[in-house]
């Protein structure tokens, strides 16, 4: 211990004094804010579905069910690979952990690509916030599509942020900063990612399976 | 975490620079919760001063009937700006960000909050939000004129800088969320050995309840404000009746946050009062658990009363009576606090000091605010007073008379700890007297005006309202003089005040056990807690031991 | 090793006095959950998704929506409990999560005291 240079010693001290449960508490609190952020949109959805039930059903017919369900499959699987990555790192299997993490990243990418095709098909028909066709729709259907774009859009932004975080975490696992002794960052990324999955689980029946 | 600084200044005052940076840079890069608290203080009181001046202008315009100084349009911008600055930049983040940051770790016996870097980040995010709010004055369509509530559909149609102001509120909300997360984690994880939840000082309980509201309620308004921006830019129609949207839904979502946030303002102030009363009564607080738990109860009930802001908007009758009933429930935990405070004073050995005066002022003014709140909470009377000056009077009694005066109490109570200097006692008492007299002269006539039928947010009025308006404006000058004297006195003390002892008031909580000002890491030896927070017998016994030769 | 680090840490950083904040390993980490448990949860999630989709296609309307309303929270619970590890966390985490959800549910429910009863008493707004 005495042979270690000063900054290293400080780092070691830092290491031992980290409060994992505190960090986890902070992460869960952050997740609550995310839930409530989407919660506001869910309230709006509930109110307008209550008011425009028929129009919502009409509009939902136009959404591509196959793409929605495929994306659910992709996201559920990415949640699995994420949790496998965390489990692998806990067992100090760094290579396996990295592999699963990058698979998760790939699946997230896949999700966004499918989403992109779905959105562009709609965009093609003028169904887009501020788009012509959307504006000329009956109020209820217009609200449905605007809600669809706001909610899947906000969700998509979260997927994107998740991918960035995953890439950073992967780099830090490669460099050994995140390892079998301190894997908090990976664990919390996982928590975030599962939440993104969780939100999508609710979006699926609300938009794609409404008829 | 921050605390890897070692060096000669380890036990010196936190006000001295340590580490490699000096001067302003040392402050701007600090992760010390005390310095961050001071940084918030400087910025917030600057904004407070601006908003006070805007308030004076509003009062000046209302001194006489007719339009004297500003047009109706400028008047709209004046009260919008006054409201936005006071609410979003001062009173909501106020006590938690300034006094909470400074005192919470000291109260818990910790050397910092759980996430010091995040704490600094919150300050920067606050600054970004504040600058955005300022920028909305000067760019584009000019100062927003919607009122601080940004109600749809007017907020969707106004050509002023609503989008930027709304984004600023969103960013400020984000800062508030991060502070809340930090405080909850700190309270869960960094209490000194032996300090159970029910041995925490009541200020910490106030902050704890507040932090939960910040975390759970703020995101709802965050998304709502973002949707206002989307609505203005893309026309998504959620709150726009022309597209099938419901403007009342905006009000629901807005108040789902903004009512709980009223308790973000008041709970920390109640915590401050719960600290001051036992100290200057020389005895433990009456009903510790009742006060602690009533903070949580207020936070919880605060979530379920929001629609009482909307009784006249055409919400359903069922919603109206349910929310009215729920609103009256808030009076219960609030009453519990007030009665316990009074019971604490009863038969205490009371010492009249400036913080106690402010605390008593808080109880008096906030009681008026609370009781006038019941008038608004009752359906029948609310129809009569809604959107009148009565509402303006009511919420100034709660927000300024409550949260604001509570903040002043906190400043006077902890000023010696923060700066290691005492302020002039006599001058502080004069300032207190002016503020109390000015306050009631300023706001009580508004209650009367409201009952008479004077609407709020109007630049002009009928001659029959003249006298109360004139009295109110004179009151605004008195309270301004009082606050100017108060700030002069406090600021002067930083340089010229007498050196403060470590425990000038005979307080029993942990912050008084360290030096004034505290060292960088708060405590020379980490404290261990063996009793409740207000154990004056132990303090007296210790004093007696020291006095013995 | 542990002890020497901790003592040195006290001197060097002054962080984390005595009774708290130390030894993250001891109190926050558990033996890892076997990986096959996660795979089982994943299979369950896929099956439940299939059930929801099948119900919505085969029985559009009430039944489909009813199935979705029952199955979706179950899926969410599976993710929360196993993937997000909530099952193995201390009660305080479960309590905090539950409180946040309860608040959201209450808020949503109270909003509907307005929207479900609009129109009665002549005060309803018609849009």
**Which DSSP string corresponds to A22-55?**
HHHHHHHHHHHHHHHHHHHHHHHHHHHHHHSHHH
Q: What angle do CA C10, A92, A30 make, to 5 degrees?
A: 65
- Closest in C17, C20, C123 to B316, CB measured: C123
Phi-psi region of B204 (alpha: psi -120 to 50; beta: other; left: phi over 0): alpha
**Domains in chain A: boundaries:** 20-208
Reading the block at residue A45, the tokens are 């959805």
Which chain A residue's Cα is nearest to B182?
A: A26
Determine the topology of domain A20-208 in CATH: 1.20.120
The percent of residues in chain B predicted with pLDDT above 90, rounded, is 84
Q: How high does pLDDT run on average in chain A?
A: 89
User: In whole angstroms, what is the distance from residue B361 CA to residue B380 CA?
Assistant: 31
- Sign of the alpha-carbon dihedral angle for B297, B300, B303, B304: negative
| pLDDT band, very low/low/confident/very high, at B253 (cuts 50, 70, 90) | very high
- Residues of chain A in contact with residue B122, where contact means CB-CB under 8 angstroms, are none
- Is it the case that residue B118 has pLDDT exceeding 60? yes
pLDDT of res. C127: 43
| pLDDT band, very low/low/confident/very high, at B545 (cuts 50, 70, 90) | confident
CB A18 within 8 A of CB B184: no
Reading the block at residue B472, the tokens are 């109110």
- Is it the case that residue B379 has pLDDT exceeding 50? yes
Chains A, B: CB pairs < 8 Å: 108
For residue B420, the Cα-to-chain-centroid distance in whole angstroms is: 24
Query: Other C-beta atoms within 10 Å of B261: how many?
Result: 24
Q: What 8-state DSSP symbol labels residue C31?
A: P
Between chains, do B252 and C13 touch, taking CB under 8 Å as contact? Answer: no
- Is it the case that residue B275 has pLDDT exceeding 90? yes
For residue B472, the Cα-to-chain-centroid distance in whole angstroms is: 23
Between chains, do A143 and B245 touch, taking CB under 8 Å as contact? Answer: yes
Query: Average pLDDT in the B195-220 region?
Result: 96
- Sign of the alpha-carbon dihedral angle for B315, B318, B319, B321: positive
For residue B526, the Cα-to-chain-centroid distance in whole angstroms is: 30
Chains A, C: CB pairs < 8 Å: 159
C-alpha distances in Å from residue B337, one per residue of A64, B290, B334, B547: 57, 8, 5, 36
| pLDDT band, very low/low/confident/very high, at B210 (cuts 50, 70, 90) | very high
Reading the block at residue A3, the tokens are 């042979």
Between chains, do B224 and A14 touch, taking CB under 8 Å as contact? Answer: no
pLDDT tens digits for C4-28? 333 333 333 333 333 343 333 434 4
pLDDT of res. C13: 37
Torsion of CA C41, C47, C52, C53, to 10 degrees: 130
Burial class (CB in 10 A: 0-12, 13-18, 19+), A95: exposed
User: In whole angstroms, what is the distance from residue B492 CA to residue B501 CA?
Assistant: 18
Between chains, do A210 and C83 touch, taking CB under 8 Å as contact? Answer: no
Which chain B residue's Cα is nearest to C92?
A: B188
CATH code for residues B30-544: 1.20.210.10
Reading the block at residue C2, the tokens are 């542990």
Q: Shortest Cα distance from A96 to chain B (angstroms)?
A: 30
- Closest in B10, B191, B318 to C20, CB measured: B191
CB B452 within 8 A of CB B384: no
DSSP H or E stretch at residue C58:
helix C35-58
- Is it the case that residue C1 has pLDDT exceeding 50? no
Between chains, do A43 and C16 touch, taking CB under 8 Å as contact? Answer: no
| A-interface mutation test, from B19, B234, B253, B307, most A Cβ less than 10 A away | B234
pLDDT tens digits for B470-506? 999 999 999 999 999 999 999 999 999 999 999 999 9
Interface check for C103 against chain B (CB to CB < 8 A): the answer is yes
**Of B429, B408, B111, which Cα lies nearest the Cα of B276?**
B408
Alpha helices of B399-533 — where are they, by DSSP H?
405-419, 425-452, 466-496
Query: Average pLDDT in the C68-76 region?
Result: 95
- Closest in C23, C85, C104 to A36, CB measured: C104
Cα atoms in the 13 Å half-sphere on the side-chain side of B492: 11
- Is it the case that residue B2 has pLDDT exceeding 90? no
Which chain B residue's Cα is nearest to C109?
A: B304
pLDDT of res. A17: 59
Reading the block at residue B235, the tokens are 């026309």
User: In whole angstroms, what is the distance from residue B244 CA to residue B246 CA?
Assistant: 7
Between chains, do B6 and C12 touch, taking CB under 8 Å as contact? Answer: yes
Between chains, do C65 and A25 touch, taking CB under 8 Å as contact? Answer: no
pLDDT of res. A11: 37
Phi then psi for C76, rounded to 5 degrees? -60, -40
User: In whole angstroms, what is the distance from residue B217 CA to residue C32 CA?
Assistant: 35
CB B444 within 8 A of CB B515: no
| pLDDT band, very low/low/confident/very high, at A18 (cuts 50, 70, 90) | confident
Bridge partner list, B519 = B13
Angle, in degrees to the nearest 10, between helices A65-90 and C35-58: 170
- Is it the case that residue B139 has pLDDT exceeding 90? no
Query: Average pLDDT in the B155-181 region?
Result: 93
User: In whole angstroms, what is the distance from residue C115 CA to residue A46 CA?
Assistant: 10
Query: Average pLDDT in the A124-139 region?
Result: 86
pLDDT of res. C62: 86
| pLDDT band, very low/low/confident/very high, at A130 (cuts 50, 70, 90) | confident
pLDDT tens digits for B48-82? 999 999 999 999 999 999 999 999 989 999 999 99
- Closest in B189, B190, B316 to C113, CB measured: B316
Between chains, do B193 and C17 touch, taking CB under 8 Å as contact? Answer: yes
Cα atoms in the 13 Å half-sphere on the side-chain side of C67: 19
Which chain A residue's Cα is nearest to C77?
A: A198
The percent of residues in chain B predicted with pLDDT above 70, rounded, is 98
CB B487 within 8 A of CB B45: yes
Query: Other C-beta atoms within 10 Å of A53: how many?
Result: 12
Give A124's contacts (C-beta < 8 A, 6+ positions apart).
none
pLDDT of res. B10: 55
- Residues of chain B in contact with residue A10, where contact means CB-CB under 8 angstroms, are 4, 6
Based on DSSP, count helices (H) and strands (E) in chain A, helices before strands.
8, 0
User: In whole angstroms, what is the distance from residue B405 CA to residue B411 CA?
Assistant: 10
Classified as helix, coil or strand, B233 is: helix
For residue B190, the Cα-to-chain-centroid distance in whole angstroms is: 24
């Amino acid at each position: 211990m005495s042979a270690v240079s000063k900054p290293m010693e400080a780092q070691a001290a830092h290491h031992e004094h980290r409060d994992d449960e505190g960090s986890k508490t902070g992460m869960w609190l952050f997740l609550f804010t995310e839930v409530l952020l989407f919660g506001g949109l869910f309230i709006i959805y509930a109110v307008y579905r209550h008011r425009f039930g028929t129009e919502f059903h009409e509009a939902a017919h136009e959404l591509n069910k196959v793409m929605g369900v495929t994306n659910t499959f992709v996201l559920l699987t990415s949640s699995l690979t994420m949790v496998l990555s965390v489990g692998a790192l806990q067992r100090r299997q760094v290579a396996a952990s990295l592999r699963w993490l990058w698979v998760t990243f790939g699946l997230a990418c896949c999700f966004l690509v499918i989403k992109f095709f779905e959105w562009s098909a709609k965009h093609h028909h003028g169904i887009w916030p501020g788009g012509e066709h959307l504006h000329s729709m009956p109020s209820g259907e217009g609200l449905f599509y605007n809600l669809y774009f706001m909610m899947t859009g906000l969700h998509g932004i979260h997927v994107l942020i998740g991918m960035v975080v995953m890439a950073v975490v992967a780099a830090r696992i490669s460099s050994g900063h995140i390892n079998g002794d301190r894997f908090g960052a990976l664990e919390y990324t996982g928590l975030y990612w599962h939440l993104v999955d969780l939100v999508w689980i609710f979006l699926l029946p609300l938009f794609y399976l409404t008829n | 975490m921050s605390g890897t600084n070692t060096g000669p200044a380890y036990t010196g005052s936190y006000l001295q620079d340590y580490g490699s940076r000096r001067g302003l840079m040392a402050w701007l890069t600090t992760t010390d919760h005390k310095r961050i608290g001071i940084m918030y203080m400087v910025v917030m009181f600057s904004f407070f001063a601006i908003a006070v001046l805007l308030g004076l202008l509003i009062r000046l315009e209302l001194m006489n009937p007719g339009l004297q100084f500003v047009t109706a349009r400028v008047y709209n911008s004046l009260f919008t700006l006054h409201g936005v600055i006071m609410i979003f930049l001062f009173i909501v983040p106020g006590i938690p960000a300034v006094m909470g940051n400074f005192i919470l770790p000291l109260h818990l016996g910790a050397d910092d909050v759980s996430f010091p870097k995040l704490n600094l980040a919150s300050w920067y995010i606050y600054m970004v939000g504040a600058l955005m709010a300022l920028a909305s004055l000067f760019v584009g369509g000019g100062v927003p004129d919607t009122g601080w509530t940004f109600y749809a559909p007017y907020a969707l149609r106004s050509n002023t800088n609503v989008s930027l102001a709304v984004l600023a509120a969103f960013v400020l909300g984000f800062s508030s969320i991060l502070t809340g997360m930090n405080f909850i984690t700190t309270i869960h994880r960094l209490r000194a050995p032996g300090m159970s939840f029910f041995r925490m000082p009541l200020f910490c309980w106030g902050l704890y309840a507040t932090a939960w509201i910040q975390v759970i309620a703020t995101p709802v308004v965050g998304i709502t404000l973002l949707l206002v921006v989307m609505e203005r830019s893309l026309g998504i129609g959620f709150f726009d009746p022309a597209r099938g949207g419901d403007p009342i839904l905006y009000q629901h979502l807005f108040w789902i946050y903004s009512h709980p946030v009223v308790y973000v303002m008041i709970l920390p102030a109640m915590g401050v009062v719960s600290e001051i009363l036992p100290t200057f009564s020389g005895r433990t607080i009456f009903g510790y658990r009742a006060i602690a738990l009533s903070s949580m109860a207020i936070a919880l009930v605060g979530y379920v009363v929001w629609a009482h802001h909307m009784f006249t908007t055409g919400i359903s009758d069922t919603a109206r009576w349910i929310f009215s009933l729920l609103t009256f429930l808030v009076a219960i935990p609030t009453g519990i606090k007030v009665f316990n405070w009074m019971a604490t004073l009863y038969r205490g050995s009371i010492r009249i000091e400036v913080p106690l005066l402010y605390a008593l002022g808080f109880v008096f003014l906030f009681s008026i605010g609370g009781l006038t709140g019941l008038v608004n909470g009752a359906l029948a009377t609310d129809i009569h007073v809604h959107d009148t000056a009565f509402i303006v009077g009511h919420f100034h009694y709660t927000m300024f008379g409550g949260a604001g005066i509570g903040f002043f109490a906190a400043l006077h109570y902890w000023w010696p700890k923060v700066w290691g200097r005492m302020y002039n006692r006599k001058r502080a008492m004069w300032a207190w007297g002016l503020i109390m007299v000015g306050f009631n002269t300023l706001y009580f006539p508004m209650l009367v005006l409201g009952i008479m039928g004077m609407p709020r947010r109007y630049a002009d009025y009928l001659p029959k309202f003249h006298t109360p308006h004139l009295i109110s404006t004179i009151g605004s000058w008195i309270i301004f003089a009082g606050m100017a004297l108060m700030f002069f006195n406090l600021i002067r003390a930083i340089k010229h005040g007498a050196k403060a002892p470590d425990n000038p008031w005979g307080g029993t909580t942990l912050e008084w056990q360290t030096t004034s000002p505290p060292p960088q890491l708060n405590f020379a030896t980490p404290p261990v807690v063996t009793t409740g927070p207000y154990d004056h017998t132990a303090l007296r016994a210790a004093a007696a031991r020291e006095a013995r030769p | 090793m542990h002890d020497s680090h901790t003592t040195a840490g006290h001197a060097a950083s002054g962080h984390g006095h005595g009774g708290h904040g130390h030894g993250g390993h001891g109190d926050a980490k558990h033996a890892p959950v076997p990986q096959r448990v996660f795979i089982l949860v994943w299979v369950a999630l896929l099956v439940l998704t299939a059930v929801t989709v099948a119900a919505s296609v085969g029985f559009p309307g009430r039944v489909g929506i009813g199935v979705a309303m029952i199955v979706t929270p179950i899926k969410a619970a599976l993710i929360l409990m196993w993937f997000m590890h909530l099952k193995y966390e201390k009660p305080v985490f479960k309590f905090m999560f539950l409180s946040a959800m309860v608040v959201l549910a209450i808020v949503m429910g109270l909003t509907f005291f307005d929207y479900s009863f609009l129109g009665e008493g002549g005060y309803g707004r018609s849009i």
